[in-house]
Each structure stands twice: as C-alpha cells, then as structure tokens.
Amino acid sequence: MFKDLNLVKRYKDNPILSKKDIPFKADLIFNAGVTKYHGIYYMIFRNDYKGTPCDSVGLAGTNLGLAKSKDGLHWIVDKKTRFVLQDNEIKRIYDPRLQVINDEIYMCFACDTKHGIRGGIGKLDKSFKKLKVISLTTPDNRNMVLFPEKINGKYVRLERPFPVYSRGGEYFDIWMSDSSDLKYWGNSKLVLGAEKVKFSNAKIGPGTPPIKTKYGWLCLFHAVELDPTRGKNGWEKKWQKIYYVGVMLLDLKNPSKVIGYYNKPLMSPSMPYERKNGYRNDVIFPGGLILEKNGKVKIYYGAADTVECVAFSTVDDLVKLCLKANIK
Ligand code: BMA
C-alpha cells in the first residue's frame, strides 16, 4: 500500500455526510456527485441501505438523495428526493457525477441491469429534483464524467469500459467519446491505459468531472491496487482492493491527449474514516471537484464505501504535480 503524501488537506470535520444526517432509511452514504450552481453547492449522494438481510452484509437497496449547502461543507438533506431507476431490466443506479454545461444540469451514473452494467447520462431540472434519462451505454461501462463545455463543437465524456474477456482480469482503462446531442456517442479513443499508472496493478477510472485550467483539463481518477494477501478489510468477508486518487491533465483542444499525470497517488487511504470500520476499508472514491474563484479546489470523495468527505487543494498545486511528471 502506498503512503499518503499529504498533498491535499482533509477537512477537519470529515465526514461531511453520513448515515446520521439522513432523514430517511440510510446506511452507507458515499460516492457523491457535487456541483456549484448559481452560488449554491448541490450534492447527489449514493445511499445503500440495509433491509431484511438478503446477502452476507444485509444490503437491500440503493437510492440517490439530494443535499444542498451554502459553503460546500455543511449540508442540508432534502427529505423527499430519492432517485431510483428500476424496472424489469434495470436493478439500480449509483455513483452519480454532476456537470453543468451551458446552464443545464446533467448527471452521469452507473446502472446495474440484468444484462450488465451500463453508463447513464440524464438531465436534471433546475431544482435538481427530477431526472430525465438521455442515454445508456451498452454493457459494460461506467464511471462516466462530462466535460463542462463542448470541445470542437461536441459534448465530450470520459468513461471506463470493462473489457473482461480481452484484457483479462480487472485491468481497465480510461476512454473518451464525443457526441453532438449527448445521446449518440462515438469517435471513442483511449485516454490513459491502466499500465501507465504505476501505483495501480488493476483498473483505473474517471473520478471527478474535469475542470478547465489554462494548462489543460484537470481531472482526478481512481486507481486500484489489488492485494490478494489482504484478509478482512471491512464488513465484507474479504476485500482485497485499495482505491487511490490520481490526478491528470488533458489537452484543452484534444482531451484524449494526456499532457501529464502525477506518478504517485494524490490521496491514499490514511484517516480512520478511510481505513477502519467501513463497508470496504481503504477506499477513496473521488466524484466531485469544485474550482472556487480564488483558485482553491474542493475534492469530494466517498470513504470506505461508507461516508462522504471533502479535502482541499489549489488548482496550481494540482497542475504542478501533473506537469512535474510528464508521461511522454
Ligand atoms: C467500484 C464501484 C464503486 C465502489 C468501489 C469500491 O467497483 O462499485 O461504487 O466505491 O468499487 O468498492
């Protein structure tokens, strides 16, 4: 396991959202999407709740809830809003990521179906309470994030297909596609192969929706270390993975081109709420990156698949890390 290098500062009052803050049935509150819209922070969080025990850990279902904040640190949860997508084919949606493009609000999400995992894109109304699904990928794909503006006249997304058959094992990469209407996607290109990320021996995936800097698109990703010698790490019988956060910078005009990325984890599980007593310990899963006017950034992440947290950095520090270790 890689040590945390203290490159970002965790909020002293983490977690910012957990089971105790939720006014409805809730157990694991994590992997939220966060955006700032007209000065207010909005968070759509994942809630996995227990029911009649139906598997070894008793998790019965998943829904998504909505929270609002004036400072990005203290949150008020909407009592009524719960996003659930379920029918004969679709089992659940989870791991939302939010993006505002041209004053319209979009949410990417993962979608478990009877025939595989699909990446979804939907549009939220201005109250963030209603979701209209625009498109779903073919299986298996997820961890999709949208860029905040069109590039060369097209919407662009990062995504993470899972080619199990041809790649072997859980060895997955970050890809990119574009679209004229957010519904039909194509022109797919590899962005970052998992083999380039030296602190991962397994899959990587897009984490936070990219933010624009004058040096390039800044984007956090997750990177997995699989350690078969690990025993019990959480409520699960056996959890053998560690999830780190990585940081990369993509070319402004051609985002399939990586300008640079930091060759060590930006964040490695280190705090008790990231390492202990969680559903899956040693997981940091980034889903939101907010750039403030003064150049400071807030990094939102799920910790141990159990609580939602925030950490702080600056855009300059993150860009510098990427430029220091140019992969070319
Ligand atoms: C991934 C997803 C995430 C989760 C992570 C760590 O495969 O299921 O939702 O946070 O694993 O368990």
pTM above 0.75, yes or no: yes
Q: What is the pLDDT of residues 16-58, one digit of tens each?
A: 999 999 999 999 999 999 999 999 999 999 999 987 554 555 6
Q: What's the residue count for the chain?
A: 328
- Would you say the CB of residue 280 lies under 6 angstroms from ligand 1? yes
Coil, helix or strand at residue 239: coil
- Would you say the CB of residue 95 lies under 6 angstroms from ligand 1? yes
- Would you say the CB of residue 92 lies under 6 angstroms from ligand 1? no
- Would you say the CB of residue 243 lies under 6 angstroms from ligand 1? yes
- Would you say the CB of residue 261 lies under 6 angstroms from ligand 1? no
Confidence of residue 14 (pLDDT cuts 50, 70, 90): very high
Out of 221, 238, 283, 301, give the residue to mutate to test ligand 1, the one with the largest number of ligand atoms within 8 Å of its CB. Answer: 283
Out of 29, 95, 242, give the residue to mutate to test ligand 1, the one with the largest number of ligand atoms within 8 Å of its CB. Answer: 95
Span 79-99, average pLDDT: 96
- Would you say the CB of residue 49 lies under 6 angstroms from ligand 1? no
- Would you say the CB of residue 283 lies under 6 angstroms from ligand 1? yes
Take atom 10 of ligand 1 and give the residue whose Cα is closest. Answer: 305
Cβ 134 vs Cβ 147: under 8 Å: no
pLDDT recorded at residue 327: 44
Confidence of residue 235 (pLDDT cuts 50, 70, 90): confident
Span 289-304, average pLDDT: 97
Cβ 202 vs Cβ 171: under 8 Å: yes
Q: What is the pLDDT of residues 157-197, one digit of tens each?
A: 999 999 999 888 899 999 999 999 999 999 999 999 999 99
- Would you say the CB of residue 172 lies under 6 angstroms from ligand 1? no
In order, the DSSP letters of 30-98 are EEEEEEEETTEEEEEEEEEEE-S--STT-EEEEEEEEEEESSSSS-EEEEEEEE---SSSEEEEEEEEE
Could you give the dihedral angle defined by the CA atoms of residues 139, 95, 299 and 193, in that order, rounded to the nearest 10 degrees? -20
- Would you say the CB of residue 305 lies under 6 angstroms from ligand 1? yes
Which ligand 1 atom sits nearest the alpha carbon of residue 110?
Answer: 9
